[in-house]
């Protein structure tokens, strides 16, 4: 299997979690806002919509390889921050496992940002 295909599969696997999460949050904005309020985020209704759209759009950008470095960097930092905001609970093993999963996903996205989207990506289209 070529590197281009492997990176495409990796982009898909990294992006799909955010695309599905964005759709899921958009399908239940009231529930998403309630969660945002529960973790202490300001303006929960606005934050819910902003996070939902960000996850969806940035996830799609990573999937198709468009502005990959920026989208992957932002999603990576978001994933790490969201993990600490939503799952930091040293007394709860499951929450800490979710936190470390979020950190690992963030790390993978930062590696993607540094390495580039591979050959099969909109970022690699010919000029003109």
Q: How many CB atoms lie within 10 A of CB 121?
A: 19
Mean pLDDT over 8-31 rounds to 97
Q: State the Cα angle at 88 between 85 and 95, rounded to 5°.
A: 115
Domain hosting 115: range is 3-124
Q: Note the pTM of the prediction, 2 decimals.
A: 0.91
* Residue that the structure tokens 């969660």 belong to: 35
Token pair, residue 38, equals 């529960």
SS (H, E, C) 34-58: HHHHHCCCCCHHHHHHHHHHHHHHH
Give the total number of structural domains in the chain: 1
In Å, how far from its chain's centre is CA 62? Answer: 9
- Kindly tell me if the per-residue pLDDT of 4 is higher than 70: yes
Q: How far apart are CA 109 and CA 24, in angstroms?
A: 21
Backbone angles phi, psi at 116, to 5 degrees: 100, 170
Q: Could you report the per-residue pLDDT of 25-57, keeping only the tens digit for each?
A: 999 999 999 999 999 999 999 999 999 999 999
């Amino acid at each position: 299997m070529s590197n281009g295909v492997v990176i495409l599969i990796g982009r898909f696997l990294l992006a799909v979690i955010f695309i599905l999460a964005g759709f899921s949050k958009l399908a239940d904005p009231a529930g998403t806002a309630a969660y945002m309020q529960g973790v202490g985020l300001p303006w929960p209704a606005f934050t819910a919509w902003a996070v939902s759209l960000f996850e969806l759009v940035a996830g799609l950008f990573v999937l198709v390889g468009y502005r990959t470095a920026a989208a992957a960097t932002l999603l990576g930092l978001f994933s790490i921050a969201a993990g600490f905001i939503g799952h930091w609970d040293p007394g709860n093993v499951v929450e800490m496992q979710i936190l470390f999963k979020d950190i690992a996903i963030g790390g993978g996205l930062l590696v993607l940002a540094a390495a580039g989207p591979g050959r099969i990506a909109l970022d690699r289209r010919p000029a003109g």
